[in-house]
Amino acid sequence: MDQPIGVIDSGVGGLTVASELMRQLPKERLIYLGDTLRCPYGPRPKEEVIQYTLEMVNFLLKQDIKLLVIACNTATAFTLELLQEQLDIPVIGVIQPGARAAIKMTKNMQIGVIGTEGTIRSRAYPDALHGINSEIEVQGLSCPDFVPMVEQGVITGPEAYQVVETALQSIKEKQIIDTLILGCTHYPLLKDTIQAVMGEDVHIISSGEETAREVSVILGYHQTLYEGDRSPKHRFYTTGPWEIFERIAIQWLDIPINIIENANIETN
Amino acid sequence: MDQPIGVIDSGVGGLTVASELMRQLPKERLIYLGDTLRCPYGPRPKEEVIQYTLEMVNFLLKQDIKLLVIACNTATAFTLELLQEQLDIPVIGVIQPGARAAIKMTKNMQIGVIGTEGTIRSRAYPDALHGINSEIEVQGLSCPDFVPMVEQGVITGPEAYQVVETALQSIKEKQIIDTLILGCTHYPLLKDTIQAVMGEDVHIISSGEETAREVSVILGYHQTLYEGDRSPKHRFYTTGPWEIFERIAIQWLDIPINIIENANIETN
């Protein structure tokens, strides 16, 4: 099926999901919309996140998408069920794929989750994990320093290591969890550093990888994968600044971006 | 949703899938049917495999299952599309989950597949892999000695190691693949031995783990997971001998089986 996959995010974090979609589904065409004008969504009230997300969804629906990925933890927590009910196309968030992958990987049923304060406070990951298995023990930890650091381009090296080590100290010193969910779409850019800090025995679950896998499952299930051969041209829209967007995409994720278009989603 | 998940297999191999379903979805109730009277399906003509599989499916449909797992590579290759078209419930096979997981894991796009002669000859895995990404290179290898060895209870130790090492020599000495799909539901019982032979740098993909993960995705997507708390009672049926079945289940997979019931599926 020739229609594109739509990806929405509050800004640049969802590019880690887009990057994995391109890797795991190289024939599929993406339309990405990052609401860089109004990011971050984390500190905003629920009603505002819902309104902004619906505006983004409407913009993409006009481009005839076959599946919608909500590549943002905050937006997933507040709008996934609503959108699954209202839209005729499949809608996939980033929380459930990470939770299911963690359940597959853990041997001792001790799972850690790191994310923004909003995501940890929402208890979306413990709820998703306990919905499947009530015996899993979850340690949640917010890491407010990670997003600004990633957006400044500090991703590897001693400074990144020290910030990550300090942030994860409480979860690391307990030596209980065997699986750690990166519950923020910015964090996969820090995956190597987080793995180095936590040690090789802890499985790191990246929501981007797992969400792309589940998009593949759902498109396969509905028989709506693109069946021919092609190197698709993706489109990227932002509602505001695109400088960080371009740097993350090109420097860190090796995503080929020629043009970033401006989306005026409020008046669209 | 209280209805059980149905699992069919030509015999005992599907128990590795059942075991993973119990681990990853501990609230879900299973009904397993193994056609031990007529196994293995691998050497049988396509029409016969389709007929036998449809007989098993009819037996389980009368027990009001909410989702069907075809936990057998041969039956998946011959009947998945047919059953997905004909049944009103979701139908999941074991080939696509292994293929999608391998695509997620591989970095160098060199994937190995081991299975019975029938599965390798069917090219079901290369077809599934290339359907998603035509640039992946696939090395297939049949390992006819593995199933009889597992059914005799030889799973670890020097004898198992030697048989596995000899069988995998051609694929190992090339040192090309970074991901190996266990394309037979018996093989996860040899996973530790296969990992030891291939070395820690090769990712081993077990179809049982990946199929259970995709069952979780599809039940979550359809909102048909069991929502309460329970320790469900599973039911196991065989069409013939149950001795190997019981030994694999209890000794090797730690599946609690009290009663194995006899299923007369032809006259059912």
Q: Tens digits of per-residue pLDDT, A205-221?
A: 998 999 999 999 999 99
The reply to whether A143 belongs to the active site is: no
As a whole number, the mean pLDDT across chain B is: 93
Which residue from B minimizes the CA distance to A20?
B104
Residue B212's closest chain A neighbor by CA? A104
Provide the percentage of residues in chain B whose pLDDT is more than 70: 99
Look up A184 and say whether it is catalytic.
yes
**For residue A226, what pLDDT is reported?**
92
Closest CA to B54 of B18, B87, B32: B87
Q: For residue B216, give the chain A residue with the closest CA.
A: A100
- Amino acid identity for residue B151 in this structure: E
What span, in angstroms and rounded, lies between the C-alpha atoms of A179 and B203? 17
Q: Are B73 and B123 in contact (CB under 8 A)?
A: no
Percent pLDDT > 90 in chain A is 78
Domains and CATH numbers, chain A: 5-93+209-262 (3.40.50.1860), 95-207 (3.40.50.1860)
Residue count of chain B, please give it: 268
pLDDT per position as a tens digit, B36-56: 999 888 888 889 999 999 999
Q: What is the band of B252 on the pLDDT scale with cuts at 50, 70, 90? A: confident
- Stated length of chain A: 268
**Runs of H (alpha helix) within chain A:** 15-24, 46-61, 73-86, 95-105, 117-122, 124-132, 146-151, 157-173, 191-198, 207-221, 243-247
Q: Does A153 touch chain B (CB under 8 A)?
A: no
pLDDT digits (tens, 9 = 90+) for A129-159: 999 999 999 999 999 999 989 988 899 999 9
**pLDDT given for residue A267 in this prediction:** 55
B209 reaches A (C-beta below 8 A): yes
Residue A212: list chain B partners with CB under 8 A.
104
Query: Looking at residues A198-208, what average pLDDT do you find?
Result: 95
Task: Average the pLDDT over B249-266 and give the result.
Answer: 81
pLDDT higher than 80, residue B164:
yes
Picking from A181, A189, A112, the residue whose alpha carbon sits closest to that of residue A149 is A189
Report yes or no: B102 at the A interface, CB cutoff 8 Å. Answer: no
Q: List chain B residues with CB under 8 Å of A109.
A: none
Cβ contacts of B215 on chain A, cutoff 8 Å = none
Residue range B1-29: mean pLDDT, rounded: 94
- Mean pLDDT of the A239-268 span: 81
Residue among A132, A217, A229 whose CB faces B214 most closely? A217
Give residue B83's pLDDT. Answer: 97
DSSP structural state of residue B249: I
Q: To the nearest whole angstrom, how far is the Cα of B258 from the nearest Cα of chain A? A: 23
Long-range contacts (CB closer than 8 Å, 24 or more residues apart) made by B121-129 = B122/B74, B122/B77, B124/B73, B124/B76, B124/B77, B124/B95, B125/B95, B125/B98, B125/B99, B125/B181, B125/B183, B128/B95, B128/B96, B128/B99, B129/B99, B129/B102, B129/B103
* Spatial distance between the Cα atoms of A30 and A6, rounded to a whole number of angstroms: 6
Within 8 A of B135 by CB-CB distance, chain A residues are 26
Residue B58 has pLDDT above 90, yes or no: yes
Contact residues, chain A, for B214 at CB < 8 Å: 217
- How far is the C-alpha of A231 from the C-alpha of A233, rounded, in Å? 7
List of chain A residues whose C-beta atoms are within 8 Å of the C-beta of residue B227: 131
Tokens at B127, concatenated: 């077809």
Please give the pLDDT value at position B262.
Answer: 87
Better-scored residue on pLDDT, B209 or A151? B209
- Per residue in B215-236, pLDDT (tens digit) is 999 999 999 999 888 889 999 9
**Would you say residue B267 has pLDDT above 60?**
no
- Say yes or no to pLDDT of A234 above 70: yes
CB contact under 8 A, B90 and A221: yes
Name the pLDDT band for A40 (thresholds 50, 70, 90).
confident
Please list, residue by residue across B103-118, b when 16 or more beta carbons sit within 10 angstroms of its beta carbon and e when fewer do. Answer: bbbbeebbbbbbbbeb
The H-or-E segment that residue A113 falls in is strand A110-115
Residue of A nearest to B131 (CA): A227
Query: Would you say residue A268 has pLDDT above 60?
Result: no
- For residue A89, give the nearest of A106, A70, A105, A107 by alpha carbon: A70
pLDDT digits (tens, 9 = 90+) for B123-136: 999 999 999 999 99
**Distance to chain B for A8, nearest Cα, Å:** 19
pLDDT at B108: 97
* Partner-chain residue, chosen from B24, B100, B216, that has the shortest CB–CB distance to A216: B100
Model's pTM, two decimal places? 0.91
CA closest to A80 among chain B residues: B221
Please report residues of A whose CB lies closer than 8 A to that of B133: 24-27
Given CB atoms, is B134 within the 8 Å cutoff of chain A?
A: yes
Is A116 in contact with A147 (CB distance < 8 Å)?
yes
Q: Which of B67, B72, B136, B198 is catalytic?
A: B72
Strand partners, A236: A32, A260
Q: Where are the alpha helices (DSSP H) in B71-190?
A: 73-86, 95-105, 117-122, 124-132, 146-151, 157-173
Q: Which amino acid is at B231?
A: S
Q: Do B208 and B19 form a contact (C-beta atoms < 8 A)?
A: yes
Q: What integer is the mean pLDDT of A103-125? A: 94
Contact B220 A100 (CB under 8 A): yes
- Closest chain A C-alpha to B66 CA, distance in angstroms: 16
Candidates B184, B190, B212, B255; catalytic one? B184
In single-letter form, the type of residue at position A140 comes to G
The whole-number average pLDDT for the span B240-253 is 85
Res B228: pLDDT:
85
**Span A43-71, mean pLDDT?**
95
Please report the residues numbered 11 through 30 in chain B whose beta carbons come closer than 8 angstroms to any beta carbon of chain A: 24-27
- Of A126, A96, A94, which Cα lies nearest the Cα of A112? A126
Minimal C-alpha gap between B100 and chain A (Å): 7
pLDDT of B268 reads: 52
Q: What value does the mean pLDDT of chain A take?
A: 93
What is the nearest CA distance from A104 to chain B, expressed in angstroms?
6
List A184, A189, A205, A263, catalytic entry: A184
Total beta-carbon pairs less than 8 A apart between chain A and chain B: 68
The ipTM assigned to this model is: 0.87
Q: How far is B128 from chain A (nearest CA, A)?
A: 10
**pLDDT for res B229:** 84
Task: Check CB contact under 8 Å for A132 and B214.
Answer: no
A165-177 pLDDT, tens per residue? 999 999 999 999 9
Cross-chain Cβ contact A221/B225 below 8 Å: no
Is the four-CA dihedral A45, A51, A57, A59 of positive or negative sign?
Answer: negative
Closest C-alpha to A12, from A268, A267, A261, A253: A253
Q: Would you place residue A1 in the very low, low, confident or very high pLDDT band (cuts 50, 70, 90)?
A: confident
Cβ–Cβ gap B220/A96 under 8 Å: yes
- Is A24:B101 a contact under the CB 8 Å cutoff? no
Cβ atoms of residues A143 and A73 within 8 Å: no
A37 and B CB contact within 8 Å: no
